Amino acid sequence: MKKNLLVIKAMAIIILGVTCLLNRPNSLCAQQIDYSQKPRQWERSRTFDAQHYLIKIKLDIDHKSFTGEATLTFSSLREELKRIELDAEDFKVERVINQWGEPLVFQQTDKKLIIDLERAYRFGEVFSVTVFYESDPQAHQDNVSKKGLRFYDASADYPALVASDSWPDGVHHWFPCYDYPNDKVTNEIIATVKEPNKVASNGRLVRMVRNQEEGTVTYHWLQDKPHSTYLIFLAAAPYEVLRDRYQNIPINYWVFPQHVKDALRSYEKTPKMMEFFIKTFGTPYPWAKYDQVSVPLGGGAESTSATAMTYRIIHDEKAEKDFSSIGIVSHELAHQWWGDLITLRSWEHVWLNESFATYFEYLYYDYERGPQEGAIELLNNKNSYLREAKTKYIRPIVTDHYDVPQDVFDAHSYPKGACVLHMLRFILGDKAFFRVSKEFLHKYSFQPVDTHDFMKTVKEVTGENMDWFFEQWLFKPGHPVLEVNTKWNEERKVLGLMIKQVQDTSRGIPIYKFPVLIGITQRKGQEQIDPNVTNNKHLIYKTNNKEIIYKIWITKQEEYFEFPLQAKPLLVRFDRGNYLLKEWTFPKSVEELLYQATNDDIIGRMWATKELGKFKNNPRVVKTVSGIAQGDAFWAVRKAAVETIGAWRDSKFISVLKEKCSDRHSQVRAAALQALGEFRQPRLADFFRECFTREDSYLAQAEALRALGKTGDKKQIPFLKKAASLPSYRNLIKKASLEAINLIERKGK
């Protein structure tokens, strides 16, 4: 699920800038939230096993109301079950009957429906009750309800409609039920609405009946495989349904009429994604069909077989280069296995849903766009978590301390957990890692699961006890903060490598145990490997041309390693392959950074280019960074160079930055415009206007307008007002124009 945390992501690489930890990796920001002080939450107990929910509901979109009839089937978990308690909120119960039509005594509170059964039911006995109810007008007096079924007035972006917002505990706002994920049910939705509205829901469509005298239509949907209640979905709108498929699996895109012409741009890769995930998981797609249904929510919600998807992912061709939808579409599709087929038992185990979906979203990036773009996606995940850790809080990924379930849907559960899975894959190896994921899905299909189920599966499949790994990465807060240093001993021909863990352990952060790869690049002709290096502390991982890659294990707060070599190496690469989630400092000479910035992988080149920013007075550095900005093959490295040059704030680089405003990649152009704007020079106003006019990227156009505002030139206001009237994806141009006007007006005061 991608709520507001992980809505549509631009492809931009996020490089952490000046923060409270810059150059001081052992310091900590003031934490705004202390999770250890939040109340402890327990998995709910239940007196019955919910088996099937049959919901008959009549929807009145015009009046924002509904009437419902819910037949709920349970199996007793008590020896004498005389009373049941259901979650029920924001609707008024009129009457309750048993399976023979006899009235039952009930009591409705603000949040519960308590029903006295006609007799005591023994353990295992199956029984049903039917609840008749209608919506509470007070809950829907505004344009949208606070939870459950949300009614939306027509706008320029969508027609009048109704859509459920069941996640994480909103189902009981539109029908009575046991609303907690540790119980799975089958369900039917029989929904009636005025034509030309169509009704989307879970499972397969049993029938659709037009009630011509009433001018309504009734859809009967059956979800015949069990799933958790928060995955139950309903939406009704005058949808256009675009039909697709993967082999024999129907795939449909339910979109608003005004979005039909652009919808496939966002959705057309879904069959390819499904094929990729079926092969990657070694598990067939488990549901009757897959729908993606446009709704006015902030992100996506992975309802079983029918993902609720924000209509905002549909965009024009111009927006595609900066706001591709493959991230959110692949993330929500991965949830059909990770979150729907298997589902967290209670909310502290949310990583089993979100970390896995986020990680497999990264794997699809890697598959679809290549390993370099995949590496950027993984780096974005790392940086997203680190920002939260620095500015808000740290907490264990698995924690039962929270106020409401939404608290744990954050950068710890999404990107940090994805990075933890990447490290687990590195340690176990590809074959073992994917065998584990396949076995976990097979063993626990259609069941609620917790973290210990996954830990047990790792042991059973690989024979490895990885409890030490899960203890430090899932059940403890934080991450390693490292000080790395090297020293070359010319007399002994030995490279010394010092690694210190300097994280603040007073707050529960552990001293970590982890393997890490060290890449040592030597000059040509000096690649001979000393056999004495190959021992328990220095295992040769592989060799690659001039590079020798060693695998070492860090187990203590301070570690020291020696590598006998023929000569001082050109490059020492810590965390070769970029597997480790970490903060770190690694002081290097200018010579080594210059080599790394032009010879390493893209993550290493970006890092070295940023580090070279400390040496702006060195002519070789200036020449190299400028050359990288001009000629590196990968856009994110060129962008890093542009940002480094911009940070120097030296007007002699204006010409270089102006040239980069014509780079072939929009992210680089946007970075160059942002850097030029910081010079705040009125003489650049015409250039910024020219860039705006010729740009084919909303993102770069928005930066050109903000840069224009930073000139402080009041003569630019008419141009900015005209720009504000232009349509753009998510109103990027209008927002940037107003921001620029505000900058000019503030400067004039």
Q: Residue 217 — φ and ψ, nearest 5°?
A: -135, 140
List the chain domain ranges.
4-41+348-473, 480-587
Q: Residue 699's pLDDT band (boundaries 50, 70, 90)?
A: very high
The answer for residues whose C-beta is within 8 angstroms of residue 430's C-beta and 6 or more apart is none
Quick check: 327 and 359 in contact, CB under 8 A? no
Please tell me the predicted confidence (pLDDT) of residue 32: 73
Q: What does each C-alpha distance from 630 to 372, 596, 637, 639, 688 come to in angstroms?
A: 19, 17, 10, 10, 20
* Higher-confidence position of 166 and 137: 166
Q: Using omega within 30 degrees of 0 as the cis cutoff, is the peptide bond preceding 396 cis? A: no
Average pLDDT, the chain: 93
Please tell me the predicted confidence (pLDDT) of residue 538: 65
Confidence (pTM)? 0.94
Structural element, H or E, at residue 245 = strand 240-246
Q: What does each C-alpha distance from 658 to 612, 630, 638, 702 come to in angstroms?
A: 21, 12, 14, 16
Please tell me the predicted confidence (pLDDT) of residue 725: 96
Q: What does each C-alpha distance from 93 to 101, 106, 189 come to in angstroms?
A: 16, 9, 19
Please tell me the predicted confidence (pLDDT) of residue 36: 86
Please tell me the predicted confidence (pLDDT) of residue 744: 95
Summarize pLDDT for 475-531 with one digit per residue, the tens.
999 999 999 999 999 999 999 999 999 999 998 999 999 999 999 999 876 655 554
Residue carrying the six token digits 């930073």: 710
| Burial status of residue 692 (CB atoms within 10 A of its CB: 0-12, 13-18, 19 or more) | buried
Q: Are strands 558-564 and 216-228 parallel, antiparallel or unpaired?
A: unpaired
Please tell me the predicted confidence (pLDDT) of residue 136: 86
Please provide the CATH number assigned to the domain covering 4-41+348-473: 1.10.390.10
Summarize pLDDT for 10-48 with one digit per residue, the tens.
433 333 333 333 333 444 454 578 888 999 999 999 999
Q: Which fold has domain 480-587?
A: Immunoglobulin-like (2.60.40)
Q: What does each C-alpha distance from 183 to 112, 178, 228, 399, 445 come to in angstroms?
A: 18, 8, 6, 20, 13
